[in-house]
Amino acid sequence: MSGQTLQVDSDAIRRAAAVIEQAAVDYDGPGQPDSSPLAGGYLGPSAAAQAVITAAALSLSRAQHATASLAERSRTMAGALRTTASMFGVVDSLIGAG
């Protein structure tokens, strides 16, 4: 089987991993998540205004959690792609050395 290859572009897989890793960095943002700009009596003292503030803060918190989870999953995917590229390289070198 000497001379056969897998015909896989491992460098392209590594480049894709780098793009996904950069996306993970972007999802993480520059630091601590922002708090809601709506606080206290910002919209007035009514119960309806307070309900809006509470709902907005909850929605913001959920969105921030989802974004952090997306960053974590992106890092996992980038790592899996790098591992895949390495394994293709190992197998290809073994087949070529055969």
Residue 71 lies in a domain: yes
Residue 49 belongs to a domain: yes
Q: Looking at the 3D structure of the chain, how many domains does it have?
A: 1
Q: Is pLDDT at 83 greater than 80 in this prediction?
A: yes
State the pTM of this model: 0.73
* pLDDT value for 1: 46
Residue 90 lies in a domain: yes
Q: How far apart are CA 37 and CA 16, in angstroms?
A: 37
- Any domain includes 88: yes
Closest by CA position to 49, among listed 38, 60, 58: 38
The number of beta carbons lying within 10 Å of the beta carbon of residue 81 is 20
Torsion, Cα 74 75 78 82, to 10 degrees, reads -170
Which pLDDT score is estimated for 30?
Answer: 74
Evaluate whether residue 44 is within a structural domain: yes
- Within-domain flag for 13: no
Q: Which domain holds residue 46?
A: 37-98
Residues 77 and 27 sit within 8 Å (Cβ to Cβ)? no
Query: Does 63 reside within a domain?
Result: yes
17: how many CB neighbours lie within 10 A of its CB? 20
Any idea what DSSP says for residue 34?
P
**Residue 27 is assigned to a structural domain of this protein:** no
